[in-house]
Chain A
Amino acid sequence: MSLLRLAWRNVLRQRRRTALLSLVVVYVTVAVLFMFGFLDGYGESLVEAYAQYVEAPVVVAREAWWEDPDPENGFPSLPPLAHPLVQAATPRLSLYALFRSPYRMQGGVVLGVDPEGEKALSRVPSKVGEGRWLQGPGEVVLGYRLAERLDVRVGERLVVETGKEALGLQVVGLVRAGVGNVDFGGVYVHLEDARRLAGGGVGATHLALRVPRGREEGVAKALNQVLPEGFRAKGVWELMGPIRADYEGSRLFYVPLLGLFMLLAAVAVVSTTYVSVRERLREFAVAESLGLSPARLAGQVALEAALASGLGLLAGLLLGYALLGYTSTHDVFGPLMRLSVELLPEAGLSEHLYTSIRPVYALYASLLVGLSALLALLFPGRLVLRLDPSRYVKGE
């Protein structure tokens, strides 16, 4: 305890140096907190977009359909599902089609849905910004950006053609979901129309399930144990496609980068401590001659480094969590995300991104304090351990 008090007094003795040293730690702590908060927030935004808008929390389909998403690989009747966490289930039929207005033609994916079933599962029906959601066959709901591209409006007819059938459907609603895939490519038709467009014989291509958030992978795994042969369930992470690789790649890139930041900050702390120790070698020699063991003195040096960086950590945590608190409730990254959605409309990005706040970030950031203390023990501490007290006491 007396060693701690001594170390604390030494830290306060050189306030300007301590302040500069702490600043480095503050900067890195804020960076660590913010980056983890941002990455987790980005991941959650992707999961939210895919689970609630683009796909579903869990999707069940035939293995053949997962390999080749052709309606022919769909199923005529729905497979039995037994899992207590499945809160809702609705069939969907997806197929590639050509959309034709009097002015433009564009290819894309049509999603045949049960209008009522979809309401229980997806947020898309609640995001119809103009007109209304589907009520019956003969209607189509489009993402508003796709409608702009095709130049069709609510009340007008859009031709949907596949290799087997063509239908003139009335546009009854435009969706403004704020999710790229939906706004730029969403085409929702009644399941019956989708069946006609697919050429008949296919009931649905997949089954979308709603399960509690965070349980998607577990439910998919459990369902795979009980589903009939040839069927497979996938959780939302598996449904995310290439953007998942992008997200995981970002984590792989940023986590070592933050590690490097922390190491450099620890080196900055230790180099300052090193200079401080060198200046105080006579003081250490006196202390050693008065009976303090070299190991305790090295410990004191490490403690000083830990205390100085701890002060920075504390300030950094306050500042970092305040920043995360603000960005988790305010859509600060909205303009950036809107630009990303514009550039990558089919990536499943959301126009809104809120950072995540988790207590564990403090633990990650506090590794810096440990690292500083360890390095202080290894380098300036070694100076103290090798100290020849008689030489310094004599004033040589």
Chain B
Amino acid sequence: MGRMAFALLVFAALALAQSPSEKLKLALDRLRGPAHQGVYELRVERPSSVRTYRLRVYTDGHRAHLRVLEPRSEAGQAFLSLGEDLYLYDPRLGRTLRLPPTGRGERFLGSDLTYQDLMGRDLEALFQVAEVQGVLVLTPRPGAPTPYGKVEVYLREGLVERILYHDQRNQAVRELKLSAYQRLDGAYLPREMELRDLQNPGYRSLLRVLEVQVGPVPERCFNPLYLERGC
């Protein structure tokens, strides 16, 4: 009887054991949170200046609509991320522009965050995953369009806690920290995201979730036509 219980335990453990890729996928699935509307604060720190933005965010976990509320000088700018497609509305131009895929690597509102950091799943698409002493070590797939030589993903209880980007000389160049996870409607949402440019001391960007209202987001929020008028 005892032997049988032990064998069942082993089988269960094997069944539950996840490959590094599966661990990464699950962690990324948990990263975006449930469908929600909210207000985020983005603080962009530079050695000689600090700039703070307030953003209205609509997301269903895969798609995101972000609208700048403050500062007043930049209010009205809106961004829509639909998988590979990225749209930008600039009230000064009065036009909605579709950015090419290259735009996903660009800085979001001049911060250290890129559009890819906010919504992308590059880590899954571009890297092959291995696990070394509990850390997911990602190395680029052949020909993958990533400038990084290695990315380390630190997990805590299946949630991404820290992502460390290394250049091709094994030197850490960017660090993304995620914290204050909240369980909302069966999903997780990090309430704080900190990104540091390790090449430039004093360059840091902080994204904090101020308000969050879990629930379905109107479909029109993910229509580029609503970028200008709001949803």
Q: Is the CB of B167 within 8 A of A102?
A: yes
A138-B126 Cα distance, complex, nearest whole Å:
15
Taking a contact as CB atoms closer than 8 A, the residue among A103, A105, A163 that contacts B199 in the complex is A103
Which listed segment binds B: A26-34, A152-160, A246-254, A261-269? A152-160
In the complex, whether B145 has a CB less than 8 A from a CB of chain A is: yes
Scan residues 175-198 of chain B and give those whose CB is less than 8 A from a CB of chain A.
Answer: none
Among A101, A163, A164, contact of B147 (Cβ-Cβ < 8 Å): A101
In whole angstroms, how far apart are the Cα atoms of A158 and B146 in the complex? 8
The SS class assigned to the A binding surface is: strand
Contact of B168 with A157 in the complex, beta carbons under 8 Å: yes
Q: Contacting A167 at CB < 8 Å: which of B145, B149, B165?
A: B145
- Do A157 and B101 touch across chains, with their CB atoms under 8 A apart? no
* A157 touching B149, Cβ below 8 Å: yes
Q: Is B143 an interface residue (CB 8 A)?
A: yes
Q: How far is the CA of A166 from the CA of B102 in the complex (A)?
A: 8
Q: Within 8 Å of chain B (Cβ to Cβ): is A98?
A: yes
Cβ A163 vs Cβ B100 within 8 A: yes
A159 and B147 CA atoms in complex are apart in Å by 6
Interface size of B in residues (CB-CB distance below 8 Å): 21
* Residues B165 and A159 in contact, CB atoms below 8 Å apart: no
Give the one of B126, B143, B149, B173 with max A CB within 10 A. B143
How far, in whole Å, are A98 and B143 apart by their CA atoms in the complex? 16
B50 close to A (CB within 8 Å):
no
Q: Is A272 among interface residues, defined by CB-CB distance under 8 A?
A: no
Is A161 an interface residue when CB atoms closer than 8 A count as contact? yes
* Residue among A100, A164, A167 making CB contact with B143, cutoff 8 Å: A167
A52 at the interface (CB under 8 A from B): no
Give CA–CA (A164, B199) in the complex, Å. 30
* Majority secondary structure of chain B interface residues (helix, strand, loop or mixed): loop
Cα–Cα, bound, A103→B165 (Å): 11
Residue A168 interfacial (CB < 8 Å): yes
- On chain A, the number of residues with a Cβ less than 8 Å from chain B's Cβ atoms is 22
Cα distance, A138 to B167, chains bound together (Å): 19
List B contacts of A165 (CB < 8 A): 101
Q: Which single member of B102, B106, B140, B165 contacts A168 (CB below 8 Å)?
A: B140
Which of A105, A138, A158, A162 is within 8 Å of B100, CB to CB? A162
B105 at the interface (CB under 8 A from A): yes
Give a binary string over B78-100; 1 marks a CB under 8 Å from any A CB, 0 the rest: 00000000000000000000001
* Interfacial chain A residues near B145, Cβ < 8 Å: 100, 159-161, 166-168
Q: Do B147 and A157 touch (CB < 8 A)? A: yes
A157 cross-chain contacts in B, Cβ below 8 A: 140, 146-147, 149, 168
B interface list, Cβ under 8 A from A: 100-102, 105-106, 126, 140, 142-149, 165, 167-169, 173, 199
Q: 12 additional contacts, CB 8 Å, given A102-B168, A156-B168, A159-B105?
A: A100-B147, A101-B147, A102-B147, A156-B169, A157-B146, A159-B145, A159-B147, A161-B100, A161-B105, A165-B101, A168-B140, A168-B147
